[in-house]
Amino acid sequence: MGPVLGLLLIVLLLASCGTSASKSVTATILIEADPATNRWVDGVVLPDGGNGYELLEAAVSGELEAEFFSAFGSHFVSSILGIKPEGSAFWGVFVWNTDINGWEPLTVGADLFDVEDDQIMAWAIVEFNTDRPQLPASQP
């Protein structure tokens, strides 16, 4: 490799390092305690590479309670905006699938889900039911 090509590669690498730190994604999030009381938060900005838990945290300005489980690499959210599920209900996390125009439950913990630009996520109080999984009632 010639000195000019080597210098060019170094310049390109340094330039890409400087720009990646300033990139961000903007997403929307639904918080649905029940179908009658839902809250949409549009335009939540995260650094590029931000995850679903960070999106929730930013959308509610940290007004949540959660415990981190290192074995799963994710938080279990027990309260959002002071609302705690009762009985066997829990805060479930979902992503809007534009291919089917419908909600899908995350298959990983929110901390392990990378938020993409213009993505729509939801946290909704649901009960575990393998025969009929619950999804948020509100749609974008």
CA 22 – CA 16 distance, rounded (Å): 10
- pLDDT, one tens digit per residue, over 90-125 is 999 999 999 999 999 999 999 999 999 999 999 999
Mean of pLDDT values over 61-87: 97
Supply the pLDDT for residue 137: 94
Supply the pLDDT for residue 2: 53
- Whether the per-residue pLDDT at 8 is higher than 70: the answer is no
Other beta carbons within 10 angstroms of residue 66's beta carbon come to: 18
In this structure, are residues 134 and 127 in contact, taking their beta carbons and an 8 Å threshold?
Answer: yes
121: which residues sit within 8 A by CB, 6+ positions away?
27, 28, 29, 30, 52, 55, 56, 93, 94, 95, 96, 115
Mean of pLDDT values over 64-93: 96
Supply the pLDDT for residue 9: 40
Residue 10's pLDDT band (cuts 50, 70, 90): very low
CA 26 – CA 44 distance, rounded (Å): 5
Residue 37's pLDDT band (cuts 50, 70, 90): confident
Supply the pLDDT for residue 21: 53
Residue 16's pLDDT band (cuts 50, 70, 90): very low
Q: Where are the alpha helices (DSSP H) in the chain?
A: 3-20, 52-59
Domain 23-127 belongs to what architecture?
Beta Complex (2.170)
What are the sequence ranges of the domains in the chain? 23-127
Question: Which residues are registered as beta bridge partners of 4?
Answer: none
Residue 64's pLDDT band (cuts 50, 70, 90): very high
Amino acid in position 111: D
71: which residues sit within 8 A by CB, 6+ positions away?
none
In this structure, are residues 95 and 102 in contact, taking their beta carbons and an 8 Å threshold?
Answer: no
Residue 128's pLDDT band (cuts 50, 70, 90): confident
Q: Angle CA(16)–CA(111)–CA(90) in degrees, nearest 5?
A: 155
HEC readout, 47-59: ECCCEHHHHHHHH
